[in-house]
Structure 1
Amino acid sequence: MALSSVKSLSMQQTPLGRPSFVNLDPKYKCLECRDVLRDAVQTLCGHRMCEECAFKVFEKSSPLRCPGNDETCVPTLKKEEIFRDPSARRETATLPVYCSNKDQGCTQEMQWKQLEEHILDCDFKSVQCVYEPNGCGIFTLKKNLEDHLQRCEYRKEPCFFCKDDVVIVHRQDHESMECRKILIDCPNGCGIAERPREDMKEHELDCPKRPFHCKFSNVGCDFTGSKEELEKHDQISFDHHLQLTTLYTASIDLQSMEIQRELQDISESRHNLKKTNDQCLQEVGSLREEMEVRKRAIKEIKLQSVALAERMIHMERRVEDCARKNTVEKQGRDLQGLRDGQINLSNRLTRLEQNGLYGGDRQSIGDNVAGILQNHDRQIGLMDIRLTELDLRLQIQETTSFNGVLLWKIRDYTRRKQEAKNGRTLSLFSQPFYTSQFGYKMCARVYLNGDGMGKGTHMSLFFVVMRGDFDNLLPWPFQQKVTMVLMDQDTGTNRLSDTFRPDENSNSFRKPQTEMNIASGCPVFVSHTMLETKTYLQEDTIFIKIEVDTNGINPP
């Protein structure tokens, strides 16, 4: 299978990762990256590269040479002459490698394809402590994990007092702040001691030494004391409390004024934002209407296909071989003249036979005339064949387009599609057409049963640049916009089309070095389900139109 098809069909046989090889034979190294072969492919001259490296080679400027660079190499490297190498892929997968945990002490060796499975159970791989959610950040070797777990300070053990599971490193904090059952003294110092924390909370509500806060604490008084002390404080701090209240009220008034100003600013901002929002809504509405119009006019752009693997067959129909109409008419007049001459000779022979001229020489004269007539018959037969051939070529010439537009009628759709399914005729080519009399030469190629990602489900349609007589006078690469259309035979309003502009870096649009360049187009142009409706298929016939934008082409 050629390189252009490998990318989509490649079987991933090379294992992942970059292991350390026990002894890597140079034959398993890529000629391009000098690393181990990954998904190996082979050139026509027998050299091997990674599949990805092979694609990168063709990103370089032409002409391309094989990286092997010896006398056995092909003169020019071509995509269609690079193939997948299943044998090398299998051999690469069995190369002996060291365990990835060699630096941690693992001494085992195994085949590359077995490395991933080995690493899952390797005793020397680094693993994280299972108590990581509790705060342990230790990584250790798998074989030492059990010992670590038994000593890890982030494992949980039951509290001595409340029996709740507590992380060992947090045990002291738990006992000093959270444990319900631990015995503690009254925090107010009332003399009650050694009660469980959960009972001490109830005691604090009725504790005679429970601290009380001044009822003016919300305006700034920070006094705290017993109930009796609080009453005395209220009596002697009346003026202080009044002063605090006045200051607090003044600050509240200032804050209120600030809030009013902020509310006014917010109101103005809200008004401006509402105004801006209304304008945005109007603009969004107009944009939405414009988008809807464009959606009705533009189809979703389809992805361009990857370059096809097959090379185009050679086309024999050439415009220069087509006879001019006046030549055919001249041949017809000559043929008619020969026929008239035959009739005259036949009449002369008849008169000679009737008159009996020349006596005994009558038989010889008849033989001579018969020979002449036979010679004329042969010439007339040859002229008939030549005239038929010229008629055919004239028909081809008369159907050739010189305005960049091809209208292709494909008859017997059902039979041709079945032949494509059976592998007999995978694709069909149209007659050539031109951007002008001395312009680019082009044709179309169709896969009725699909190609690549569209095989079996879609019709694939491609555009091909051909080698012409005036290529040396034309600008390259080919840069004209191409539109491919499936014609609507029902109402004429539901044409399916795909438009693309050539990629200047693609070999498909450079100056042809062979009869045809590699085709470019759409492998999923239209599904069989949609195509095989009366809209596009009638009387077992479909019509395909190719339009090439001829603007900007300066005639030679």
Structure 2
Amino acid sequence: MNKEGYDLDFEPTPENRYECPICLLILRDPMQTVCGHRFCKCCIERWINDGKGKCPIDNSDLTDGQMFPDNFAKREILSMKVRCPNRKSGCNTCLELKHIEEHAESCPYHYQFCPNNCLSQLLRKDLDDHLQEQCSKRSVLCSFCEESMLFESYGEHEIICPARMVPCDLCKEDVMREKIAEHVATTCPHATVKCCFFLLGCHKEIKREKMEKHMKSHVQKHLQLMCCAFVKLLNFQNIESILSSRTSGNTSTQNQTESIHDPIEISGDLTALLQTAEGAASGVADGAPWRVPRVTLPNVRSLSIAGPTTKPPPIERSTSEGKSTNLADGASSSELFDTEFQSLKERNTYQDESLARHSHELLELQYKYNNLERNHKDLRQKMRALEDKINSLSDIEGRLCNGLFVWKIKNYLQRRREAETGEMTVIHSPPFYSNFYGYKLCMRCNLNGVDFSVGRHLSVFIHFMQGEWDDILSWPFRGKIVLSVLDQNPVADQRQHAVETLVSKPMLAAFQRPTTHRNHKGFGYMEYVPLDVLDNSTYVVNDTLILKAQVFPEV
């Protein structure tokens, strides 16, 4: 790639005869003309290619064939001592010019971007420490699940890491996040659980750590629930036989009586069942681990008649009035059936009432939803009205600036990152006016450059916009516009603003009257400020870049 002369810090300063008259720098690849003058090869070739066939010094005719390389001067220049270009960064190396490029490739004080694309620019000597300790895009391993990820994602991963120890919300014990649900369901002492006799009628729900105390203090109640459940089971098994016996009439009382088991045998089975339950309860009372007793129910058919299909009829007896009554067991079973039927009836009534109540609640919710929808619609209308007012206020602010507009670009690093990734390469400022009834303009900024300046320079342009008073203005625009990138150094005397002045060129489309909302063509600088200068100065402070534009229309 052709370059102009050497713009380096020579030690000592070379003589003027080694200076190129065109670029005013020390000769690079010197060429000598037939008239005896020396120029940089790149400079003199560009001079001739531009159609200037005269020597820049004595104006004599000059062509490509009238020049030759001056190797003697080249050797002298390459043997001169120069200081490292990174001297301002701390490198004090001084060596011959011919070795400077080789040194620059390995100079520890050379600024370069992080290879992980974290947007950091740092000295080469600090790169290893940055990659290991500071880079937000370095790879790290989770200390809990050993998953590899970027450091910038580590904070989010800690919140969801399944292997990380976290305190249980109930007992505050540290448990792996993925096992929290299992811990609460099985071992957490503060988790609320149902009593083991829940299905039998004990609806107590208490903390797991208090369950043992509950079991010891409610032994009697649990025994009663077990006995009631057992009796219900027997009665439901015999209820069909009892009802059928009522309709069949009195037949062969003697034969039926002989087929019934001895009442003493039945009471013996019940006694054994109760003793089994009491034994289990006493085990709990003595401090043994509690378990639901496994009770083997006696064969229901063995408590009825001996035959495989014959049902036990009610046994009648004579009273003082000559009337017969059923046995107490038959009466008890009939009452139990009536009770269960009444319970089902009440449950059905309750569910009907619950359904009606839920329907009423749904109607109320529908009414509330309709009200919220109307309120939401009203709020949207009010928000649109406020946005219109805000836009009107912004427009008034732009009019009152009288041609001097200051634009703060906040969240600079994020916007710069979006520009580099191509997500949003350009941003526009709010509109402003040259005066209250003047030209309407806006600034355009490409934070990562545009075209050939991408990745190297900040680009800034001015665009004219359709305004309310364009009909009474002179077109195309004539005048000048001063653009500035403001230095935010807290010491005012040390501020060095980057200022450029745009002079209008009426023949360009950028200065013609806009035919759309904003002129597609803008006018400005593709290479305004080098990005490495922005990153290593006080132009960006508190993640904010400030641009200023001042419009001077021609009177």
TM-score, normalization: structure 1?
Answer: 0.31
- The structure showing larger relative contact order (alpha-carbon pairs under 8 Å, at least 6 residues apart) is 1
